[in-house]
Amino acid sequence: MNLETFYTLSYGLYIVCAQSEGKKNGYVANTVFQVTAEPSQLAISCNKDNLSAKVIAKSGFFSVSVLEQGASKDILGRFGYKSGKDFDKFEETQYFETLHGVPVVTEDCISWFVCKLTKTIDVGTHLLFIGEVLDGNFLNKEKTPLTYDYYRKARHGRAPKNAPTYIKEKEIKQQAVKSAAKNVVKSGQKWICQVCGYIYNPAEGDTEAGVAPGTSFEDLPDDWVCPVCGAEKADFEPYNKG
Ligand code: FE
């Protein structure tokens, strides 16, 4: 089986949110699709390990916001790669709440839907939630929706490991990093996060993490992680453009 064939399936990128007992959560999903028109129903696939799966099941409602092509890596990192278990994703996010208390992210999104959960199907690692659309509207008609293909190709993004579309690549990447590190002689070499697209620039360092400007990527501590998405050093590769 050639696993890369899965990349030829088309997906968009969305932020799915719900709230239960005062706990708001949301995550970046690429598996959102309309399953019926009368009534209008959407289906989403959510990993059982995600806090969002529990929150959606408990509350019985969820929202879907359609991300725009130029969505910032901040919002992708916040909702795509960090867990709501130890971090409030909504603190610095633009959103509103519906009458049912469903949070709807508006930041970097072009439209939104709010759904009432009508059916849950257990598909093994994931739950397939089906919801009837109660309301929806545009936020910005002029912008283009972000597709998963564009995210991968133009923005060098990758799926987090709980995504239904995740392909295990870590071991291959770790090897590549080791061999690339040997060939890099310039201490000013920039490195790019393969998960979210963040670029580590030695000239700037990572002062928030206590890394002084002038620190080469190789000299970063082993437990240093991407400041945007939390990916490990093994998820970076040399960046030679720009
Ligand atoms: Fe990152």
Side chain identity, residue 238:
P
| Residue 184 banded pLDDT, cuts 50, 70, 90 | low
- Percent of the chain at pLDDT > 70 equals 88
Residue 169 has pLDDT above 60, yes or no: no
d(CA 37, CA 34): 8
How many other C-beta atoms are found inside a 10 Å radius of the C-beta of residue 91?
Answer: 7
pLDDT, position 174: 56
Is residue 175's pLDDT more than 70? no
Nearest to 65 by CA among 12, 106, 118: 106
Render pLDDT for 108-158 as a digit per residue (tens, 0 to 9): 999 999 999 999 999 999 999 999 999 999 999 999 999 988 887 776 676
Ligand 1 center to 101 CA (angstroms): 31
Q: What are phi and psi of 183, to 5 degrees?
A: -85, -15
**How far is ligand 1, taken at its centre, from the CA of residue 100, in Å?**
34
Lowest mean pLDDT among 56-60, 167-171, 216-220: 167-171
**Whole-structure pTM value:** 0.77
- Rounded to the nearest angstrom, the distance between the alpha carbon of 199 and the centre of ligand 1 is 8
Q: Residue 145 C-alpha to ligand 1 middle, in angstroms?
A: 22
